[in-house]
């Protein structure tokens, strides 16, 4: 296996966990940062950010199961299963806590990780994250349809790939919102080289999207985010996970920061990587890692989202999120 461009040859590693081979980048020393990519993508999406962050951090960037250079078995591709996998990978590497950065599906996994394992999450950075509302681009709803797994294999045909590239090129040339992400979508489009990869993509997508849109939501549990430093990053022209979700998430997550990339679509970390890196570094250096108290978390959970049961709000941070 070859490391992503610009990284040392030994940066890309693999471990067999629960019988499946997992590929991941592991680089640097210092406080840990876990970078989680979106659906159909792989760790390469973080590009030169990894090398820059690894100057003073331990960076872990996995290829999620079913993606990239990791195995693609018939397995559980739910968000909760992915959150478990992140815990297991960090444990194998001897990392107890990390700042967790997730893009798109990876944002949903990051939120689930922080909910399931709040004691292991220091901060959250959610980039064009899923899991906020039902709306999602119609193409994803179509790809999750019952018979999509019979149609998607056609993407491997050379003529279909060429047509797809032409369509994406036209969308970009016309300046359409989706066209802003044409180069990134083309890479994902080309990352389904065989039937095994296509099946894993469909299983992952169906775990989070159906004909009515996104299936999962964090809005019912986001009140648990109190005490968790959270940064929301969104491209103003995102039509894959609509930009309108940014304001909803910001309002629902106490104390969160919101950064908007005016010229970006669904991949703000690609549209302006220098700004993204500076913003991420500033967020990490100006926030303290979340602390976690089982008693405080339990107290807030009993009070509920609106505190209707009359419990006293905890005065210490609880560092949890749903």
Residues classed as catalytic: 104, 238, 266
Taking the C-alpha atoms of residue 276 and residue 234, their distance in angstroms, rounded to an integer, is 11
127-141: b (≥16 Cβ within 10 Å) or e: bbbbbbbeebbeebb
In angstroms, what is the C-alpha Rg of the chain?
19
Cite the DSSP H helix spans in 191-272. Answer: 195-208, 244-252, 268-271
Run of H or E including 232: strand 230-235
How many Cα neighbours within 13 Å face the side chain of 93?
Answer: 29
Cβ pair 291, 314 in contact under 8 A: no
Taking the C-alpha atoms of residue 119 and residue 302, their distance in angstroms, rounded to an integer, is 19
Cβ pair 198, 155 in contact under 8 A: yes
* Residue 132 DSSP one-character state: S
Q: Is 207 exposed, middle or buried (0-12, 13-18, 19+ CB in 10 A)?
A: buried
- Residues 171, 149, 24, 81, CA torsion sign: positive
42-71: b (≥16 Cβ within 10 Å) or e: bbbbbbebbbbbbeebbbbbbbbbbbbbbb
Taking the C-alpha atoms of residue 225 and residue 297, their distance in angstroms, rounded to an integer, is 10
């Amino acid at each position: 296996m070859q490391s992503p461009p610009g990284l040392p040859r030994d940066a890309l590693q693999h471990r067999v966990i629960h019988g499946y081979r997992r590929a991941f980048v592991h680089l640097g020393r210092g406080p840990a940062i876990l970078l989680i990519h979106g659906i159909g993508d792989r760790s390469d999406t973080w590009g030169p950010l990894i090398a820059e962050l690894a100057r003073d951090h331990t960076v872990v960037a996995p290829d999620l199961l079913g993606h990239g250079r990791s195995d693609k078995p018939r397995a559980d591709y739910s968000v909760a299963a992915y959150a478990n996998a992140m815990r297991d990978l960090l444990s194998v590497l001897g990392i107890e806590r990390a700042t967790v950065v997730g893009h798109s599906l990876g944002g949903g996994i990051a939120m689930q990780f922080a909910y399931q394992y709040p004691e292991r999450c220091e901060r959250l950075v959610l980039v064009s994250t899923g899991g906020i509302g039902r709306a999602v681009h119609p193409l994803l709803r179509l790809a999750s349809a019952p018979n999509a797994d019979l149609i998607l294999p056609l993407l491997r045909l050379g003529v279909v790939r060429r047509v797809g590239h032409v369509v994406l090129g036209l969308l970009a040339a016309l300046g359409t919102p989706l066209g802003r992400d044409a180069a990134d979508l083309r890479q994902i489009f080309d990352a389904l080289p065989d039937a095994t990869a296509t099946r894993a993509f469909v299983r992952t997508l169906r775990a989070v999207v159906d004909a009515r849109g996104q299936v999962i939501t964090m809005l019912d549990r986001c009140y648990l985010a109190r005490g968790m430093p959270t940064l929301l990053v969104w491209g103003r022209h995102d039509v894959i996970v609509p930009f309108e979700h940014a304001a909803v998430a910001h309002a629902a997550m106490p104390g969160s920061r919101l950064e908007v990339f005016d010229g970006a679509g669904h991949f703000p970390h690609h549209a302006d990587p220098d700004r993204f890196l500076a913003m991420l570094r500033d967020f990490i250096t100006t926030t303290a890692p979340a602390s976690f108290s089982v008693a405080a978390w339990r107290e807030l959970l009993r009070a509920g989202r609106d505190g209707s049961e009359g419990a006293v709000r905890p005065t210490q941070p609880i560092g949890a999120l749903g």
